[in-house]
Structure 1
Amino acid sequence: MEHEQSHRLGKRRRKRCVILIVIVVLIVIVIIAVVLGLTLRQNKSEFESTFLSRCEKFDQYDCKKVWDAFQQAYVNKDPCKVPVEAYDPLIAAAPFKPQCNRMMFWSKTKDVVHGFTEKRDCFVTLEDTLLGSVLDGLTWCGKEGSKDTFTTGCPRTCENNPVDSFWIRASAAYADVACGDVTAMLSGSTTTPFDPTSTFAKVEVTRFKAPKVRSLNVVMVIQKNAKSNCKNASLQKLKNALHKGITYSCKDVPESRIQECGSKPQIACRTCW
């Protein structure tokens, strides 16, 4: 009899332990789900907050309208199926404004260019405009069946990914409004300063049209152990790619000179090279 009662007691204890384990597991699952949910919302909120705070530095724009147009391009979509034209409504919501004789393009010289334009207001790059400034350095994508914006796990290897499609579309729109004397900063540290696979070659140069664009002035940034200069063979392809009527010039400029001009506003911009 005692043995039977002990057996029943042990059985009840084991049953209670199983129930407790199940309850603990369920609690852990709920906590993980809540934390993940909060993390996703936090990422979205942080991204949106960054977007809007950067946007609000520019006057005369409805930043909420720009944000909504931006989201339409990629939210609830396969992150490998966001074509360039998906950003047409965004470009329409915040169109680029022509800034004749001040527009600067670049290829493989981003740090040098922006180190200069951040200190001097004589030239304007795509990244100095509203859309370029708002999204510079950011990663984003959507997922089918979700209204969220994700900042991790976003593919960049597929052709129609949200980030690359945006920059191609924005580069095209920025080049479309180029006018007057246009400047491009290329790198003397590469063997092919005018790289035919670059956005500058494939997207921007092809959109420079005369007589709206008078000239393209190349600034070849020369660093230590430079591999090329204005005599590089690839630049002949650049000259050939220009629309008839656009004049071309190139000047080798030491990076140190560009940095000096950036730090000394008393130096006239046009004398920097």
Structure 2
Amino acid sequence: MKQKERQQVSAGSVRPRGATSARREEASLGGTPKVTAMEAMGCARSRRPLPALLLILLLPRAAGAAGAADARWSGQGTVPHLQSIFLGRCAEYIAVLSPELRDKNCTAIWEAFKLVLDKDPCSVLPSDYDLFINLSRHSIPRDKSLFWENGHLLVTSYAENGRRFTPLCNVLYGMVGDFLSWCRQKNASGLDYQSCPTSEDCENNPVDSYWKSASIQYAKDSSGVIYVMLNGSEPTGAYPVKGFFADFEIPHLQKDKITRIEIWVMHEIGGPNVESCGEGSVKILEERLEKMGFQYSCINDYTAATSTQREALSVYAERSASFVFPLLVALASVAQM
């Protein structure tokens, strides 16, 4: 189903979706500064993004630490406690979100996933996740698939954790790896906690290959009316012609299972109107779908999603403000250490 963020990269110029090189850029919800979701991939879990002030104050300290580490790769290292996080997410998904999946074995799913942790970090193929996908995949409700580019925050808010729609981050095989990074050390056994490769380092890195595999399966399992949310305020265009949606999802849509495709071009509140339906890259997408034989429609600023956009902006602003005082206290404490 990376918050990359959105730059052209090597290896076929596919825009990254992994945790280390960021799947897609967060859509700004209005007059507040853009906040990027931890360089996420795929679709990020529904969580509160860090306020811009927090990022601004903490990034210099983090950058200094990263420089001192002299990392081999350009991406974040393996997240600490990877196994515990993975198993916890899996158990939560089955117990809380989808009790009908009670027969899924989270331990077996983890064992299949961790096979890539024994491979060279630049030699992990999408097919290396086949067993993991086979054990964790499940049906996606008809008319509930939501594909997207450059609009993570709005997508997760509008999807309501799978209750309204089911984007990739709300299926089991997308949720367990969301916002995480992982890789083996280059010339040794054991995990690399210092850095992991991104598409800038090598094409076949663990996180990007994970999202390629997950994206392909998600597209294959989607049916009925398919929804696509694009950011019409994105400076580089609403529809990246080289990206996960273009390269790994559209080609695997099953025409005999799909009724039609509905495109929503959303524009940031207070932001620029770069592209709308029938314009620029959106027109390229429309022409591609038509050539493939899909029925489609396109709507600018879909009303229901726009309402969610305004609500999310209000909540974001309130929560951002609530961080300021605790943050200043924390920084003062650190300064005295």
Matching residue of 1:87? 129
Structure that is richer in helix per residue: 1
**Residue deviations 1:56-93, cap 9 Å, x none?**
01222211000000001x22211011011111111111
Matched, 1:210 2:260: no
Aligned length: 220
Alignment of 1:116-135 (within 5 A): 116-118=158-160, 121-135=163-177
Amino acid in the other structure paired with 2:286? K
Query: Of 213, 220, 240, which residue of structure 1 is paired with 2:265?
Result: 220
Matching residue of 1:67? 110
Partner Cα separation in structure 1 for residue 173 and residue 227 of structure 2: 20
Partner Cα separation in structure 2 for residue 45 and residue 108 of structure 1: 28
Partner Cα separation in structure 1 for residue 193 and residue 160 of structure 2: 26
Matching residue of 1:53? 88
Query: Of 184, 209, 217, which residue of structure 2 is paired with 1:173?
Result: 217
Higher relative contact order (CA 8 A, sep 6+): 2
Matching residue of 2:286? 239
Whether the 8 Å contact between 1:209 and 1:246 is mirrored in structure 2 is no
Using the TM superposition, give the Cα deviation of residue 259 of structure 1 relative to its aligned residue in structure 2, in angstroms.
2.6
CA RMSD of aligned residues (A): 2.3
Partner Cα separation in structure 2 for residue 230 and residue 109 of structure 1: 16
Partner Cα separation in structure 1 for residue 161 and residue 121 of structure 2: 36
Amino acid in the other structure paired with 1:99? P
Matching residue of 1:13? none
Whether the 8 Å contact between 1:76 and 1:143 is mirrored in structure 2 is no
Partner Cα separation in structure 1 for residue 113 and residue 279 of structure 2: 40
Runs of 4+ in 1 over 6 A off after TM superposition: none
Amino acid in the other structure paired with 1:226? N
Partner Cα separation in structure 1 for residue 254 and residue 163 of structure 2: 25
Partner Cα separation in structure 1 for residue 282 and residue 128 of structure 2: 33
Matched, 1:182 2:229: no
Partner Cα separation in structure 1 for residue 108 and residue 190 of structure 2: 17
Q: TM-score, normalised by structure 1?
A: 0.74
Look at both structures and tell me which one has the larger radius of gyration over its CA atoms.
1
**Residue deviations 1:89-141, cap 9 Å, x none?**
11111114132101111111111101222367120000011121111110101
Stretch moving more, 175-184 or 232-241: 232-241
Partner Cα separation in structure 2 for residue 135 and residue 103 of structure 1: 19
Stretch moving more, 88-97 or 230-239: 230-239
Matching residue of 1:155? 197
Using the TM superposition, give the Cα deviation of residue 216 of structure 1 relative to its aligned residue in structure 2, in angstroms.
0.8
Whether the 8 Å contact between 1:75 and 1:149 is mirrored in structure 2 is yes
Amino acid in the other structure paired with 1:209? Q
Partner Cα separation in structure 2 for residue 151 and residue 131 of structure 1: 23
Using the TM superposition, give the Cα deviation of residue 256 of structure 1 relative to its aligned residue in structure 2, in angstroms.
4.1
Matched, 1:248 2:296: yes
Amino acid in the other structure paired with 1:55? C
Using the TM superposition, give the Cα deviation of residue 258 of structure 1 relative to its aligned residue in structure 2, in angstroms.
3.1
Q: TM-score, normalised by structure 2?
A: 0.60
**Residue deviations 1:139-169, cap 9 Å, x none?**
1011367553434311112100000000011
Identity across the alignment (%): 29
Using the TM superposition, give the Cα deviation of residue 210 of structure 1 relative to its aligned residue in structure 2, in angstroms.
2.0
Whether the 8 Å contact between 2:168 and 2:215 is mirrored in structure 1 is yes
Stretch moving more, 89-98 or 148-157: 148-157
Q: Extract unaligned runs of 5+ from structure 2.
A: 1-77, 95-101, 314-337
Using the TM superposition, give the Cα deviation of residue 233 of structure 1 relative to its aligned residue in structure 2, in angstroms.
2.6
Instruction: Report the 3-state secondary structure (helix = DSSP H, G, I; strand = E; otherwise coil) of the residue aligned with 2:229.
Output: strand
Instruction: Report the 3-state secondary structure (helix = DSSP H, G, I; strand = E; otherwise coil) of the residue aligned with 1:181.
Output: strand
Amino acid in the other structure paired with 1:211? D
Matching residue of 1:3? none
